[in-house]
Amino acid sequence: MTTQKATFGAGCFWGVEATFRQTPGVVATAVGYAGGTTENPTYKEVCSDRTGHAEVVEVEYDASRVSYEDLLKIFWENHDPTQLNRQGPDVGSQYRSVVFFHTPEQAATARSSKERLEASGRFRRPIVTEIVEAPTFYPAEDYHQQYLEKRGLAHCSIG
């Protein structure tokens, strides 16, 4: 099995991780921080909205079982990509909608997917999701990993 990585920010990473963990073909997930200026940031630092990081989920997947396009579909369907620097009650740039691509193919697929969604008329407001090259991923503290599962919760709404 050859695995690939995908990295998504769609609000609070607990629910995002739980959604991707339930996806057949996803081999592993990790929550963390990406896209900021502070090396090895802590949750407290990221929540200050001063580091520039987004809360993200790094998804390791078996591309023979689930495609990157399928992962993007899950990403788009499980949050509101028209909300700038927020998702629901969570406000701050750490909750921004972002796709961090790992390859030129992922970049092209993500941009095409976003264009199709914008053209579909599904949203009344413009999609504000950033699509940028994956920077360094900093894993979040252990207590954040599989947070909902550790508490006996199967999922939480990220939409």
Are the CB atoms for 12 and 153 separated by under 8 Å?
A: no
Query: pLDDT, tens digit, for every residue of 77-124?
Result: 999 999 999 998 899 999 999 999 999 999 999 999 999 999 999 999
- Distances in Å between the Cα of 151 and the Cα atoms of 16, 19, 42, 51 are 15, 15, 22, 28
The reported pLDDT for the residue numbered 154 is 55
The reported pLDDT for the residue numbered 159 is 45
The reported pLDDT for the residue numbered 67 is 97
The reported pLDDT for the residue numbered 150 is 74
**Residue 12 known to be catalytic:** yes
**Rounded to 5°, angle at Cα 158 from 153 and 159:** 135
- pTM (two decimals): 0.92
- Active-site annotation holder among 4, 8, 11, 12: 12
> Looking at the domain that runs over 3-150, which CATH code has it been given?
3.30.1060.10
Centroid of chain to Cα 124:
22
Domain boundaries, the chain: 3-150
The reported pLDDT for the residue numbered 158 is 45
What token pair was written down for 24?
């057949």
